Amino acid sequence: MRFFNSDLVNISEYLRGRITELEVALARANNSLTEANAKLRDIENETTKATPMIDFDTMRVFSIERNMTIDKKPCTIIGYYMNDPVLSSDGEMVVDRDEVKEWTLYCNEQRHEELVKKFIEWKKQNGN
């Protein structure tokens, strides 16, 4: 296939224009990402500063552990029992059964340690 000089000039100009368009689109995407990350940081800062109020008796808490989410965010997981109505194994009636549940809190390590301390105190007060 033979190209004439004018064809090569046209292709070159088209590609330069396309590169410019893509650079502009990339810059916009980077700006949007920067803004989204800033909003996420603000939300995370706000939620980690909030003091959770936990009623260990009502929740029937049995553990508090520090863990990491799939996307590498540290979190605190509170294990507790909840009495849920479920069908009996024969499907005849509804019975109440304790189900193990988890509550994930996104808090800093200091807040986690405060919760663990309160949990240990609660266990001592309740003879656990």
Residue 99's nearest CA partner among 40, 39, 59, 56 is 59
For residue 46, the SS3 value is helix
C-alpha distances (whole Å) from 49 to each of 35, 74, 124 are 21, 15, 27
Threshold 0.85, pTM exceeds: no
Tracing tokens 């004439």 back to the chain, one arrives at 4
pLDDT digits over 24-77, tens only?
999 999 999 999 999 988 877 776 667 778 899 888 999 999 999 888 889 999
